[in-house]
Each structure stands twice: as C-alpha cells, then as structure tokens.
A and B are shown apart, each in its own frame.
Chain A
Amino acid sequence: MRVGAELLKAEGLVRRYAMRRGMFGRSVELRAVDGVSLTIERGRTLGLVGESGCGKSTTGRLVLGMETPDAGSVAFDGRPVPPPGTAAWRALRARMQMVFQDPLGALDRRLPIGVQVAEPLDIHGIGARSERAARVESLLLAVGLRADQGARYPHELSGGQRQRAVLARALATDPALLVCDEPISALDVSIQAQVMNLLVDLQERFGMGMLFVSHDLRAVRQVSHRVAVMYLGRIVEEGEPDAVLQDPAHPYARALVAAIPHPGRSGRRTVLQGDPPNPADRPSGCAFHPRCPVASARCTQDAPTLKRRPDGRMIACHVAQGDAAPGRGVLAEAA
C-alpha cells in the first residue's frame, strides 16, 4: 500500500462510437479515445485536461471499466478489469469509485442523503447493519457535512453540500481509486476551491489514487501530482503540473495555458485559430495541425507519437521534439 506504487495501468485505450448523421444517415466512426495510455499511482492524482469533446470523460469511464475499450487494456492492481455488468465487475466497484459532474443528477432525489451514503455498504455487505449508521455519520463528518444532514433530501442541500454527499458515498467503501469527472464545474466558483481542498485532504486521509478529469488547467494543477493534456482522443503532453503550466511544450498546451486569465498581465494572448475539434472529422497527421501556429508540412502527414524528453516530460509534437522545423501554421501558409 505504498504511496506512489502503481495502482492502475491503462495501455493503448481506443474507444470508437458509430455515430449517425441525422436520423437515417450513414454511420460515421467517431474515435472518442484513440490510443491513450496512463498510469495512476496509489495516493497520487493524475489530472486529465482538455476541451470538451476531447475524450477525457470517456477515458475516465474506460479506466473504471464502465465501458469496454475497443482496443487496449486496463489493469487494476495488476489484474485486468472484468467486463461491465458481471458480478466480478460489481464487486470491484467497492475498490474504484466515481464522482460526477452534476451532484443533483447523481443522487436519487427520493432518498435521504444518509440512505444513499449507506447504499454502497449495503450493496457490498460491508460492516454489520448496526455499525453502518456510525460509519455514515463519520463519512458525513469527513466530507464536512453535519450528521443530521443525513436525513435531508438532495434538493434540500446546496450544490456544494450535494457534491460532498456524493463524495461521502464514493468513499464509503474506502476505495483505492477515485475518478472525478469534472467534479467542480457545476459548482459556484466560491465553492469550487472548498471542494478541491476537500479532495486533497481526503486523499491524504484515505490514501486513494485519483484521476481528476477537468477542462480547467488551474484546478488540475491544484490537486494533481501529474497532469496529462488531451486533444482529440490522444494525450499530447504529460508531466509535472507546475512544469507544464510554467513551460508548456506542446503548442496546444501552450494555448491552454495562455488562455488562463492572469491578473496584471496584459498584451497579446495566443488565441487558438480555426474550428474547435470534431472527433468525427479527424484531421490527417497531427490532429492539432489545422489550429497549430507552428505547424509544418510534416504535421499534416504524420501523426507524432508521445515521447519522453530527458527531463521526464512526455510530448507528442514533431516541432517540440525537434523533428520538424517550426512552420507558420497551416492557415498562414495557405494565405
């Protein structure tokens, strides 16, 4: 149970969806996740960041085994995750849990919070019935709720309190892995920081490994030990959060960092050009090349692979890897 030991290893995950255009159109293959490999360590957090539609939530579901990948594998504790819906898969849920974006939607609005926090104990038969009440109470206290709030219904709590309740439910079975899918984006800005601090505290206390999925680079930095940047179903850069934020290597990561509002900074910001990515219509070569300010001819042909730099940073970019001279971007060259 050493902190930092490998907990979950995903290799070459691919998830395709058949998407039909309109009601009766031809079906188009959509690669939501296109060859993602990642490792989550015990007691550590991997941040996964990218625009909406880049496949980061799908990656989260694949990691949890809620969907079966079309290619690639997920190993949890060195063993492959069983197919979803099987008894073995259900039993494994006690060890891997999820926190959702919309806490109101994730809670059954007909049941009091306490009952829902106790539900995982009930499902997995953890503890004697008489002990469960005490367990629920300590869970509620651990996430910063009062014990008496267990009798409340979801709609009687505030957004932040609901997310705390969802966290309490997720932690009930003392899981080794917690996947948080945009856990703060539905919350008020003032509440976001509280919930993130809570996540950090809970990780110190319970020692679970986390996958923190978000579109918010700053939030990811605050909770993560490593961060991976995703673009159109692939990881394009991975490294230490502070290092990535201070010195992003991939042009897309640079654009993301530049987009963070910065007090006191003025002047020009790198703004992404071109259309937002559409996974059904994947560009050739490097998927980012149509929007890339430094794309060269090679980038339009050849997809770069994720390679480790001497300082440990992983990057998938011909230009950053020094394999191609920086161009001026496809748009500029076409003009």
Chain B
Amino acid sequence: MPEAPLTVAAPATAAPPRPARAGPPPMVLFGFGWLALMLAVALLADVVSPYAYTALDLRNRLSPPIGFGGAWLHPLGTDELGRDVLARLIYSIRTSLLIAFGATIIGALVGTSLGFLAAHFRGLVEQAVMALVDFSASIPFLILALAVLAFFGNSMVLLICLLGLHAWERYARIARGLALSAGAQGYAAAVRQLGATPWRLYGRHVLPNIASTLIVSMTLAFPEIILLESGLSFLGLGVQPPATSLGSMVGYGREYLTRAPWILLAPAITIVLTTLSVSLIGDWLRDRLDPTLR
C-alpha cells in the first residue's frame, strides 16, 4: 500500500461499516459448521484417516457400519475388498473439494477477466466475448464436458480446468455489466480520467467494488461444480481409480446397492450435506450482500 501514511485511521481494505444485524439463522450456522468440518477433513486427511484409502482388510470384507452390526474397527464399514469406507470417504472429500475449489476459482478468474476485457475494449472484443457467453449458456455443460473428455481422455488437471469453465459466463456477464456501469457514470470513469492505467482501474477499483457480487456467485456455483464432478465420476468419466471422489464412490457402491448400501450412502449423504450447506450459505450471503443477484 503506497498510501500507507495516509491511512492511519482506517485501513484501506476495511469495508464501510454496515448496520448491525442479527447473526445468521441456525440453518446457515449449520452450513458453516459442516463446511468447516469438511475443510478440516480435507486438509487433515492424512492425519484423521484411520487407514490408507487403498489399504485392504480381506478378513473384513463388506463389513457393515457400527449400529448395523459392524465393529469399531471400521466405523463406516468396508467395501468388498475390505477397504475402509471412512478412510475412502475422507480422501474422497479431499479430492472433491480440491476439484470444486480449483474449478470455482478458475471459473471466476476466466469469467471476470473476459468480462473486464469486454467492458474495456468494447467493439469486436465485446462481441466475441458475448458470443462465447451465448455459446456456453446454450449448451448443457455436462454434454460439453463429456465431449471434451471423449476427445482428450482424462486427467485430474483437465478435469479441474474443464469444470472451471462451468459458470464462467456468469462471472463474465456480471463483471462486464458492473464494469460498464462503473465506467459510464461513476468512479471508474473518474479514476480513468485521473490517468490510471487499466491495471490500476480494474485491479484496485472495479474488482474490489464488485468482489462481494463475485463471491456470492462463487458460492452459488460451488455446489453445482460438486454435483457436476460427482455426476461425471459416478458415470466413471471423472476422477479415475485409484484416486477416489465422492461421485466415484457412489458409482462404485452402486454395484453393492442391495448387499452393502453403506458404501453408497456415506458419500451420497456427504454430497447432499455439502451442497446443501454451501447453497444455504450462498443464499444467505446473496440476501445480505447483494440482493440484486438472482
């Protein structure tokens, strides 16, 4: 911060104080709690996991979870190779969250940059970006993703980048629209005519001003990406073995639906609770920060 000497009284990053409001409703608190738990599990997977996720226990194959006749040895039971469901769940959470976070951030970066480019250059650049926006908004993303996977085969990096393209057009629309309105009348035009470079204008002024809207969009896109990844992995086209994700666990557990439903139910419940939590947080943030966004 070059202006540091001026900002003794108030740090530049502090948002204007908002009127005090009641805390988040219990459901949202639950969402935050669950999400925190998931993050902790993902970060500490190596520490909290009772076994390696590929470790076999051939003597205890298809053992049920505790409460259904299982033993504490495998709290959530085992699959037909005797692999511990809890351990696999923990590593699946790590994989799925990594993909979802990576993809959400890529989508936001790509979309926001293209939106700013469109707003800044107008003309042909804008037309091209908006045509791309129309294109990706008009094809179901799952189909597009499947086509790319068919052509390129599969890898974790490709999967993250591919899912990152989901919802990029939303950020692009938002970034373009808000940058245009800031430029037409407001502070962006003022800063521009102070002689600021585009980098300064967009990085220091426009981006911080639209950050809350972008963050809300990211919270709304995040559960969709979890669902997409788990859908692809369920179909066997996403995360490939030996790596495991929540979706691939469900897909794998499907074979044992009648004999060992716990293999499938544990990751299924995790998917539902995680997407539910982030959706609740997203809705709450939207109402709080940016009621204009639907």
Q: Which residues of chain A have a CB within 8 Å of any CB of chain B? A: 64, 66, 90-94, 97-98, 100, 102, 105-112, 114-115, 118-120, 122-124, 129-130, 132-133, 136, 148, 150-151, 153, 155-156, 166, 169
Contact = CB atoms under 8 A, between A and B. Distances in A.
Given A109-B16, A110-B208, A122-B2, A93 B8 contact: no
Nearest to B17: A153
Contact of A90 (B2, B5, B10, B196): B196
Given A102-B185, A105-B187, A108-B209, A151 B194 contact: no
Interface of B: 2-3, 5-10, 12, 15-16, 185-187, 189-191, 193-197, 200, 205, 208-209
A64 B209 CA distance: 26
A150 B186 CA distance: 20
A107 B187 contact: yes
Given A102-B185, A119-B196, A151 B191 contact: no
**Taking chain A's interface residues, is the majority helix, strand, or loop, or is none over half, making it mixed?**
helix
B195 A123 contact: yes
A124 B195 contact: yes
A301 to B, nearest CB: 39
Nearest to A65: B193
Contacts of B187: 105-109
Contacts, number: 91
Contacts of B3: 114-115, 118-119, 122, 132
A292 B255 CA distance: 88
A106 B12 contact: no
B16 A155 contact: yes
Contacts of B205: 108, 111
A129 B193 contact: no
B16 A153 contact: yes
A154 to B, nearest CB: 9
A105 B186 CA distance: 4
Given A90-B196, A132-B5, A112 B190 contact: no
Contacts of B197: 90, 123
- With a 10 A CB-CB cut-off, give which of B15, B190, B208 has the most chain A CB atoms: B190
B262 to A, nearest CB: 50
Contact of A119 (B5, B189, B194, B208): B194
Given A105-B186, A106-B187, A123-B200, A93 B10 contact: no
Q: Sort A-B residue pairs by CB-CB distance and give the 3 closest, nearest first.
A: A93-B195, A151-B9, A105-B186
B185 A105 contact: yes
A112 B10 contact: yes
A304 B10 CA distance: 58
Contacts of A119: 3, 191, 194, 196
B193 A114 contact: no
Contacts of B7: 112, 114-115, 151
B11 to A, nearest CB: 9
A238 B185 CA distance: 29
A115 B12 contact: yes
19 contacts: A90-B195, A92-B195, A97-B193, A100-B189, A102-B185, A105-B185, A106-B189, A107-B187, A107-B190, A109-B16, A111-B12, A112-B10, A114-B6, A114-B7, A124-B195, A133-B5, A150-B6, A151-B9, A151-B10
A209 B200 CA distance: 28
Nearest to A169: B194
Nearest to B193: A98
A106 B195 contact: no
A129 B195 contact: no
Contacts of B200: 123
B195 A120 contact: yes
B129 to A, nearest CB: 19
A129 B5 contact: yes
Contacts of B9: 112, 148, 151
Nearest to B4: A129
Given A109-B16, A115-B7, A129 B2 contact: yes
B191 A108 contact: yes
A94 B186 contact: no
Nearest to A122: B2
A123 B5 contact: no
A64 B189 CA distance: 13
A210 B194 CA distance: 17
A64 to B, nearest CB: 7
Contacts of A118: 3, 6
A136 B16 contact: no
B5 A130 contact: yes
A161 B279 CA distance: 42
Nearest to A95: B195
Nearest to A150: B6
Contacts of A169: 194
- With a 10 A CB-CB cut-off, give which of B10, B186, B194 has the most chain A CB atoms: B194
A108 B5 CA distance: 19
B6 A115 contact: yes
